[in-house]
């Protein structure tokens, strides 16, 4: 019975120590423990965790090397029951070890045990929450580090690929530029040859045009001299024509004046004839002059003489 109790105590202690070591290991993952100190700044959280870890490891080593001695010591200071393994023993007034208590003392101790159990549960829950938060923070930090590492490797690979692409593009561009330069040099040589040929042809063409200019200039000079002589002749003819036009104008004016004078003379002669006829009629009607009674006979005689004279003339 005692051996079974010893083994149970050893298993419980080992489980408690293993759980404490696991939690201490989780707490030691935080990188900020080395920079966190107590109020007196005498030790850091990392050193405290290391010291606790060493103490628990020493307990594990002691359990593995001498389990019966540790179990006997634990049994001497704790009760034999499962509840007594948690509650320490008290010495009586007579100096005897007692296990049993009266009712009121038992109730007080039960209340204390329940309150301590509740506090233990609360502390355990808080410790679990803190461990969970620490685990989440550590996982987030690890994920960040992994993400940064992956991102950095991807960035390096991308940068490497971009540099390789740039190198390939620059090589292609260099090859293209070299080809363009070779083509440009060939084109420059061909253009120089063409310019030389074109310059020679233009010089020969200029010489031909100069000869043609001289030849045509002489012809044009001869034509211009002939044209000047013709122009001079035409100017003289135009002057003569203008003079003749002026003379013709003057002659036309004189002709019009002469025609008017002739018309006026004809008009005067006609008027004189009409006036003579009218006067003759008046004289005949009135019997003036030779148309009177004395003049009629004279007129008849005169007519006979006139007829004789005409016959003799014939």
Residue 138 has pLDDT above 90, yes or no: no
pLDDT of 177: 93
Asked whether the beta carbons of 119 and 14 are under 8 A apart, the reply is no
Range of lowest pLDDT (143-147, 172-176, 268-272): 143-147
DSSP alpha helix (H) spans, 66-102: 67-77
Residue 164 banded pLDDT, cuts 50, 70, 90: very high
Given a contact cutoff of 8 angstroms between Cβ atoms, the answer to whether 90 and 98 are in contact is yes
Q: How far is CA 42 from the centre of its chain?
A: 66
Q: CA–CA separation, 35 vs 24, rounded Å? A: 17
Residue 71: burial class (beta carbons within 10 Å; 0-12, 13-18, 19+): buried
Is the pLDDT confidence value at 97 over 70?
A: no
User: In the predicted model, is pLDDT for residue 264 greater than 90?
Assistant: yes
| 3-class secondary structure, 230 | helix
pLDDT of residue 175: 92
Nearest to 80 by CA among 98, 61, 103: 98
The encoded tokens of residue 233 equal: 């002749």
List Cα–Cα distances, 60 to 20, 78, 79, 115, in angstroms.
11, 20, 22, 30
Tell me the pLDDT tens digit for each residue of 53-89.
Answer: 787 788 778 777 776 555 454 444 433 333 333 333 4
Beta bridge partners of 140: none
pLDDT score recorded for residue 289: 73
Q: Which residue has the tokens 């000869």?
A: 211
Report the DSSP beta bridge partners of residue 44. Answer: 37
d(CA 314, CA 306): 12
CB 124 within 8 A of CB 23: no
CB neighbours of residue 157 within 10 Å? 10
- The pLDDT value recorded for residue 125 is 86
């Amino acid at each position: 019975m005692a051996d079974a109790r010893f083994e149970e105590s050893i298993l419980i202690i080992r489980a408690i120590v293993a759980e404490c070591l696991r939690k201490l290991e989780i707490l030691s993952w935080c990188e900020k423990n080395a920079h966190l100190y107590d109020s007196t700044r005498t030790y850091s959280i990392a050193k405290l965790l290391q010291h606790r870890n060493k103490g628990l490891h020493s307990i594990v080593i002691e359990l593995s090397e001498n389990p019966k001695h540790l179990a006997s010591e634990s049994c001497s200071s704790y009760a034999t029951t499962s509840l007594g393994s948690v509650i320490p023993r008290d010495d009586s007034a007579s100096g005897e070890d007692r296990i049993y208590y009266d009712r009121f003392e038992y109730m007080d101790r039960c209340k204390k045990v329940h309150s301590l159990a509740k506090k233990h549960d609360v502390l355990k829950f808080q410790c679990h929450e803190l461990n969970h938060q620490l685990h989440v923070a550590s996982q987030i930090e690890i994920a960040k580090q992994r993400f940064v590492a992956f991102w950095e490797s991807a960035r390096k690979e991308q940068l490497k690929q971009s540099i390789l692409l740039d190198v390939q593009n620059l090589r292609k561009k260099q090859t293209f530029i070299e080809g363009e330069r070779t083509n440009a040099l060939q084109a420059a040589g061909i253009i120089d040859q063409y310019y030389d040929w074109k310059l020679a042809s233009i010089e020969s063409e200029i010489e031909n045009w100069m000869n043609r200019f001289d030849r045509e200039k002489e012809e044009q000079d001869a034509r211009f001299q002939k044209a000047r002589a013709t122009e001079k002749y035409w100017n003289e003819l135009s002057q003569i024509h203008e003079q003749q036009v002026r003379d013709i104008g003057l002659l036309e004016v004189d002709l019009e004046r002469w025609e008017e004078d002739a018309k006026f003379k004809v008009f005067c002669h006609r008027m004189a004839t009409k006036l003579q006829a009218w006067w003759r009629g008046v004289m005949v009607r009135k019997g003036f002059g030779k148309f009177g009674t004395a003049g009629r006979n004279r007129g008849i005689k005169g007519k006979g003489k006139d007829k004789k004279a005409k016959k003799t003339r014939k």
